[in-house]
Every structure is written in structure tokens, then in C-alpha cells.
Amino acid sequence: MTWIVGIDLRPLSHGALQFATWVAANAVAGEAEDRFVPVHVLEQEHLRSMLRYHHLDEVVEAAREEAKRTLESEGRSEWIRDLQLVQAVRAEESLEFARASAGAAAIIIGRVAGRGDRPMVRLGRVARRLLRNLPSPVVVVPPDLRFADVGPGPVVALTSVADDALEASRFAAAVARHTGRKLALVHVVRHPAEGGLPFMASTSLERARLDEVRYGEHELAAWVASAGLQPDSTTVLQGNVIDQAITFAETQRSPLLVVGARRRTGVDRMLMPSIGRELAAAAGVPVAVVPAGA
């Protein structure tokens, strides 16, 4: 598999590089050899201030040397031969262009918030824009993730049992197969108490709760069969989808939580909440957000 790794030249890249290192170290025999293409984008708005004092060639060379030092400090000096420095208006567009040109499976990028942190800004500008446009799979990694932190559990795919989850589940299956991990499919159904009738008798609420779970299990089994997937386990959870998915992935010590996303345009893309973006911003494990039809 080929992967694009966004290099930030700040500590924010540490987790992304550590996760990429884990992928490389866990590829099973018989799978295609991994190739990692580190990409650092020099955006025009940042270049403009430095060009008052330095020639463009000086700035580019300084960035290249710092990118090399970053890779060497992470023990990934062999990736320097594929290092790309790109000048562009928008970093996310250059990262996607690099991914398409290399035929890469996904873009791996760091976020701002560490595991357990809840700062005002969690994703960072480039990660946020990538997830908003989402032209291809994007893996978002906490900046403080270490190689030893990547869990030994299954790759977890969160499914809505709709078409927008199919490519995400296939992506999760491919990563699980590539790294020798099991595949766990998870579907989250609502809790009846969330429907605005918590004052009803507890026996009625419990019946409604069990009915929701049973119906969810039936839906999940039918969806898995129709999609031709072969997960190692299927689980139906109940409650808030963000909380349940994160808790399940972290409890299972999953190396990767995968979620699908509909392609959105215009106002919908700007205003509608995205489960993928929320998971990528808050989860303590790496999160892959995969567009429908990727």
C-alpha cells in the first residue's frame, strides 16, 4: 500500500509518523510492500513574510533540511528519498494531488489536540479542510501517539448500515488484512430515552431499548451479508454514536477506527455536523474518514 504522510515540521507530525511506522512494521507476509511519501506544503501566506528577508531557494532548502531532520528523528530516514516539498495556496489540495499522483490509499495527517485534551482547536486548519472536502480517505492521528500506544486489538469500522459506510468498511477490511488484525464492525442505535419520553414507565423504556437493539442486530446482519463483508465480529451498541464508538475502539485497544462520510457540497458541507470530523477530533486512537465511493 502507498500512503501520503503530511509533515508539519512541528511536533504535530509525531503521531502521524508513528502510526505510519506501525503500519510499515505490521504488514503481513504476502502483502504488497508499503511505500510512504512524506509531503510538506509551503503555503503562500506563510512564504510571503519570509520572502521579505530570504530568497525563495533559501526558504525551500531550510524547509527541506528541517523535514529531513524530522524524519531522521522519527527513525524514518529511508523515507527521505520520497520526500516532497510543494509550494501551494492551500495545503489540503496539494496533499490530495500528491495522493492521486502516487495512487496512494490514504493521507495520514496529525491533528492539534493530544489524547485526552479538549482545546478550543482540536483538528487544525489543514486537517479540518481535508475532512470538510474529503476527496479521499484521510487518517487523523493525535500528535502525542507513540508506536507503543497503537493497540493490539481489531480494526474497528463504524457502520450506519447505509451506502455511505460501505467504502469505509472495505477500507477497514483492507487495513486489517494488510496488518494482520481482526475486523470488528460496529453499529450504534439510539436509546429510547433520547427520544424525549424519559418519563414513560421503565418497563416500557426497557422493552423499547431491547427492540432497538434487536432491530439493529437484524439490520447489521442483513447489511453485512448484502455487502459481502466477512468481519471477525459484529457489535450493536446503544446511545450517543460518538461516545459509543470512541469508548468501544479505546476499550478494544483498536489501532484504527474507520468511519464513512457522505460527500457534501456547499452550505451542507459547511454547516451540517459530521460524525467523521467529530471522531477525528476527539478519539484517542487514529481515525480514518472514508468518503462514499472513494
For residue 202, is pLDDT > 90?
Answer: no
Mean pLDDT (the chain) is: 88
Coil/strand/helix, residue 190: coil
Of 84-98, 171-185, 224-238, 256-270, the poorest mean pLDDT is in 256-270
d(CA 113, CA 107): 18
Structural domains in the chain plus CATH codes: 1-150 (3.40.50.620), 151-294 (3.40.50.620)
Looking at residue 144, what is its pLDDT?
95
Looking at residue 197, what is its pLDDT?
60
Average pLDDT of the segment spanning 79-108: 93
Residue 272 — very low, low, confident or very high, per pLDDT cuts 50/70/90?
A: very low
Most confident region among 75-89, 187-201, 205-219 by mean pLDDT? 75-89
Looking at residue 12, what is its pLDDT?
85
Angle made by CA atoms 157, 274, 172, in degrees to the nearest 5? 15
Strand pairing partners for 289? Answer: 138, 259
Please give the DSSP secondary-structure letter assigned to residue 133.
H
Q: How far is CA 77 from CA 26, 38, 69, 147, 188, in A?
A: 18, 11, 8, 16, 42
What would the pLDDT profile of 103-161 be if each residue is shown by its tens digit?
999 999 999 999 977 767 789 889 999 999 888 999 999 999 999 999 999 999 999 99
Q: Are 139 and 197 in contact (CB under 8 A)?
A: no
Residue 273 — very low, low, confident or very high, per pLDDT cuts 50/70/90?
A: low
d(CA 166, CA 143): 29
Average pLDDT of the segment spanning 27-51: 83
For residue 260, is pLDDT > 90?
Answer: yes
For residue 267, is pLDDT > 70?
Answer: no
